[in-house]
Structures are given as C-alpha cells and as structure tokens.
Amino acid sequence: MFSQQLLLLAVQVLILGSIVALGAHGAKSVLVRFFNPGCWFVLFYLLWFLLPQCASMAHGNALVEYIEISDQSWVLTQLYLAGFCLAIFLGMLAVRVLLQVSNRNTNVFPFRESLSRFEYQILILFYVAGAAATLYLGRKLMQSDGFRSELVKSTSGQLLTILMYYGTFAMAVLLGRGLFERRMLQVLLAGGILGSAIFFTGARGRLLWPIAIALVYTFCRSNRVRWFRIATFAAVGLFALLVFDPIFMSLREGLRHWSWAAVWERVDVADLYIEKRNFDGFSNFAVISTYDSIAYEPKLLLTGARDTFMHHYFPGILERGVGFGTTFPGMFWLSGGLYGLLLGGLGYGVLLGLLDFGLRRIRREPLFWSYCFAMTWLCAVGGNFQESLDKMIAVASPGFVWLVLAPRETLSGEDAWEEEEWEEDDWDQDGYAPEGVSDNPDEVAELSGGGPG
C-alpha cells in the first residue's frame, strides 16, 4: 500500500511540474516564469495537499481528527486528486493552443514608471484608512472573547475589513518599492505601523501575504529571483505561524498574565503542522470523496459548499463558529461526483489559462499588485471558492481604484523597454538580463524613473 501511495504522490508531482513548465515555457521574465497563475496554483496545492500527504505517510497514513480514513480510501483520494490536477493541466493547455499564446511573453518589465506624488498620496490614503480600521477591529477583538469572524458579520464590520484590505494593499506597494529602492525608513514605517495593528486582529495571512508580495515585486522588478530571500522569508514565516497564535492568545488574557514561558507552553509543532488534519485540504477532500454521503447538487457551484459540508460532517464544530475548507476539488465533487471533479478541474484550468494569457499583457503596475493579491484567494485550493470571491474582489479592487484616480498612459517608443524584440536566448538560464541591459536594482530603478533613494 505504501508503494501505491508513493507512486501516486510522484504522479501528482509530475503533473504539477508539467503545469509549471507549461506556464513558464519560453518566458523571459521572472513575472511570467515563476509567478504565472499555474505557479500560484502549484504553490497552494503543495501546501494544502502534497505536504499533508507526506506528513500522513510519515505519521501513519491519513489522520483526520474526527473521522478515520482507511488505507484504500487514502489511495483513492490520491488518485482522484491526480485526475483533478491532470484536468487543470489540460484546461490550461487548451487555452494556450486555442489562443496561440506566444512563447515570448510581451511584457518582460511592466513596471516602467515611477510613481507620481499624487499616486503616493493615494497609497498613503489607503494606508491610513486601513490602519485606522485595523486598529479599531483589533481593539474590539481584544475586548471580546469571540472569533474575529463575528466582528465582520455586520455591515460596519465588513466595511472596516474592506478598508483593512486597502491598507494591506498599500503596505505591500510601499514595502516593495521601499525594498527595491532601498528606502529603509519607508520599509520600517510601512511594515511597522500597519503590521503592528494587524497583529492585534489575529489575522496572520493579512500580515504575511503583503510582505511576500512585496518580495515578489522586487524579484520581478530586477528580473532575478533571490533564493536566499525566499528561504529566509519561509523560515521566518514558519516561525511566525508557530508563535503568532500563542502570543496573541496570551495578550488577550491580559498583560498581567503575560510571560514568554506562557507563550512557549502553547507552542506545539506537531499540533500545528502534523496533527491538525482538518485544516489541510487533503483530509477534508478525503472525507468528502470517501464517505460520499451528500447528494450531488450542481447549484453548489454558485452558492458554495461550505455550509453543506460542515452541517453534514462536522455540525458540532460549526456550532462553535468554526468552519473547515471544503476545498476546490471537494466543491466540484459535491456538485457532481467524479465527473464534477474532472469537469470542474478542466474549467478551473481554463480560467488559469485565460489569466496567464492576460498576465502577459499587463502594462500598468497597479494591475500587477491586484493580480498578486487576487491569486492568494483564487488559487487557495484548500479553502472555499465562492465564499472567498468577495474577499478576492475586495483585496484586488485597490489597484483598479488606483488606475481610475490616476490614469496614465504606458510608456512607448524610445521610453519603453523593447522586450518584444529580444530573442529567446537573450536571457540566460538563471533569468539574468541580456548584455547591454542592466539588472542591477539601482540602475534599473533609475531607468524606470525611480532611484536608489
């Protein structure tokens, strides 16, 4: 049985590698090679499905906290997921063939302009409004004993959350530009003020994702991936996930009871990364596909499947105000069984392929930021698709508001980087710039109208 599990794990890895290769094939820019929609999907699939499979194999097969899964069902779940990934690949391939997506991306460097003073004012307005809303939500949460979700169910809470998204959007832009242009004071202020406020809301993702996207911006701007920075951020991020909740819960109990010893008593690596199985996508999809005791309803593709899933399998947990992710493959399964899973994967692959087609034609920087923030929801395959659409729209909307308030034509002619004329072999295997075109951050910033600060 272990050999079958290992084989199906390898099959999934092979298909995921094909998705990455399909999106990156022939691309000369870091943006398209490493951050196309297929790569975002693979990243989230790795976190929500592949790593949990590895943890389960090392810890004694699929461990689901409330419902047990047999070895045979575990293997079938892997097989279904391999089919889901293959359907996504075929959907992306179909778009690439039908739309004749060129192997030569047409926007090697979409960040050609420096920001005007008015654009900085827009970002600062977003930032201040977001910081104020975040501080208010954090204060309310620290004074209550309930979950954060209870605070955002009201209309006022939803509006404050939207403002919070605008603040994190601005924080990412200011961090990214500050890091690239080496404006360390800007980096410290942008990350410190709002970052501190976000901490008191308990929203780990809203703190870590803007920082990650800011790093993505620096990689795309210099057209070079800094692997050491990625490794450093990953290590810091894992540590932050480990201590974030213990520190937050200790602070909610009051400063009189605060101590680092109390914090470390709450830290449990096994509980967070191995044994809390219902917070990963693989376990939840295993429950849905194995027991298969919910009548298929195509309308769930429109209404969402989270409540149906939780009411049926975990009603007691739902009553406590906690919901597990149905997962994208789980939602497709509940809408039509195995056929729903495969057709849903095909449709999702077509969507990713269309986004990849559009990514290669981005000409304005605000769209880059909106794209990256949207991907954190659209490709979060371990979560709930429909229930996350409003968050995806809210977190991506600041870029479009920015474009409306400060419309500017893209550079052309002699002012534009004429990447369309470069040959495929102009960029080397590591993504460095061709001869005669600098990839030094300071020089690139000067060419694009910015500067090292």
CA atoms 209, 212, 216, 218: torsion sign: positive
- Segment among 64-73, 111-120, 182-191, 289-298 with least mean pLDDT: 64-73
- Segment among 3-17, 134-148, 423-437 with least mean pLDDT: 423-437
pLDDT value at residue 397: 96
- Would the pLDDT of 275 be above 80? no
pLDDT value at residue 432: 41
- pLDDT tens digits for 365-422? 899 999 999 999 999 999 999 888 999 999 999 999 999 998 864 443 333 333 333 3
For the residues 190-199, what does the mean pLDDT come to?
Answer: 87
- pLDDT tens digits for 134-162? 998 888 776 666 555 666 667 888 899 99
For the residues 195-218, what does the mean pLDDT come to?
Answer: 86
- Would the pLDDT of 257 be above 80? no
Percent of the chain with pLDDT over 90: 43
- Would the pLDDT of 349 be above 60? yes
- Segment among 52-56, 79-83, 267-271, 442-446 with least mean pLDDT: 442-446
For the residues 350-358, what does the mean pLDDT come to?
Answer: 94
pLDDT value at residue 28: 78
- Would the pLDDT of 210 be above 90? yes
pLDDT value at residue 147: 57
- Segment among 125-129, 168-172, 179-183, 409-413 with least mean pLDDT: 409-413
pLDDT value at residue 98: 92
Mean pLDDT score across all residues of the chain: 80
pLDDT value at residue 56: 75
